[in-house]
Amino acid sequence: MAPIELTDLDRRIWEEELTGFVPERVFDVHTHIYRWAFFTDPDKESTSYRQFVTPPYEEANWRLLDECDRLLMPGRQVSRLAFPFPFAEYCDFDRSNRFVAKQVSDDPASGALMLVRPEMTADEITTAVRGDGILGLKPYRFYSKTGDAVNCRITDFLPEHQIEVADQLGLLIMMHLSRPDAIGDELNIADLERLTATYPRAKWILAHCARSYAAWPIERAGQRLADLPNVWFDTSSVCESDAIEALIRTVGAERVMYGSDDVPVGVLRGKYISFGYGWAYLSPSNQQLNLTHCDPRMTFTRYEQLRAMQRAGRRGELSKTQTRAMFYDTAAELVARTRTGLFE
């Protein structure tokens, strides 16, 4: 069974808007590889994860990702930077990390990051990195040692002894920022200024446009981020062109990389929308809008994101070369450089 069924609406958006925009080669820097079995909560069937980790996405392996890309972006050759799904609290870190490392090993350009929690020692991380060919760290706010996933600061869920390892080995750090204002929060931007100066060889990727699902956080922080060395950004699941445009304008297109947030977010139908100082995921099943005046169907998050990237690129007057770099070259170079630094 195909993991995704395309409708005439999806096909039309791909053919009329997107196929001319997405280059032949793609490097997806934000991909989740996992098994539902790695979520070890005894009550997991009644958790909210079940709403989106449905049976087609219980075994999110390389083959499934290839299949999703083949359906949504036909003919594109895709490499990936992949990491586990950060299941809250009950997560089998060991098996998650070994699984992702093994899954990426078939494509020499691709790379894996390990899921980390604050309790892991520097030795544990160094051993895993060297043993499994891992290129960096994927911390997550749910594992904050403060127990507060909403207001935690970076070092609450990525302690400095782990950033020190990233600095020593030149590792990547995939950072999904916490706190309600995300990168628009003074503590987050100040922490990043300090940490990038103290640990200059760690390479940060700030996920979801530094978690700017709307333009205002990146408008607030962009100028200061532009001055930081070794910081890159992925556009995964950001669906507002204003946010991506503000990112490109402030930090420069050469630091911005495509990410899908597959699976499942990128391949689900819906869109991240913003309002006031908030944002939310709107899907066919979580709202009761009265939509008799138009075609009420929704397309994939990924297509909404690509539309936003295209409009942002158009307004920022990106060249073909810059667009290709955003989809492939920047990430391929960053991942290759990280690997060379580690294993030579």
Segment contacting Zn ion (CB under 5 A): 53-61, 65-73, 254-262, 304-312?
254-262
Stretch that binds Zn ion, among 52-60, 100-108, 128-136, 259-267 (CB under 5 A): 259-267
Which residue from 165, 176, 114, 183 is spatially nearest to 142, judged by alpha carbons?
176
The amino acid present at 92, given as its one-letter code, is D
Between residues 167 and 261, which has the closer beta carbon with respect to Zn ion? 261
Span near Zn ion by CB under 5 A; candidates 195-203, 255-263, 324-332, 335-343: 255-263
Q: Least distance (Å) from Zn ion to the CB of residue 48?
A: 15
Edge-first strand listing for the sheet containing 77-83: 25-32, 77-83, 111-115, 136-138, 172-175, 203-206, 231-234, 256-257
Q: Which amino acid is at 184?
A: G
User: Under the criterion CB under 5 A, does residue 191 sit at the interface with Zn ion?
Assistant: no
User: What is the β-pairing status of strands 172-175 and 136-138?
Assistant: parallel
Q: Which of 240, 261, 262, 304 binds Zn ion (CB under 5 A)?
A: 261
CB atoms closer than 10 angstroms to residue 286: 10
The span of 69-77, 224-232, 256-264, 289-297 binding Zn ion (CB under 5 A) equals: 256-264
Q: How far is the CB of 308 from Zn ion (least distance, A)?
A: 17
Question: Cα(178)–Cα(217) distance, rounded to whole angstroms?
Answer: 12
Q: Which is nearer to Zn ion, 169 or 247 (CB)?
A: 247
The binding track of 196-215 with respect to Zn ion, each residue x by CB under 5 A or -, is --------------------
The set of residues, in sequence order, having a beta carbon less than 8 Å from that of 91 and lying 6+ positions away, is 38, 39, 40, 84, 115
Report how far Cα 121 is from the mean position of its chain's Cα atoms.
25
From the CB of 236, what's the least distance to Zn ion, in Å? 6
Distance between CA atoms of residues 12 and 22, nearest Å: 15
Residues numbered 32-71 forming contacts with Zn ion, rule: CB under 5 A: none
Residue 156 binds Zn ion, judged by CB under 5 A = no
Could you list the residues that contact Zn ion (CB under 5 A)? 261
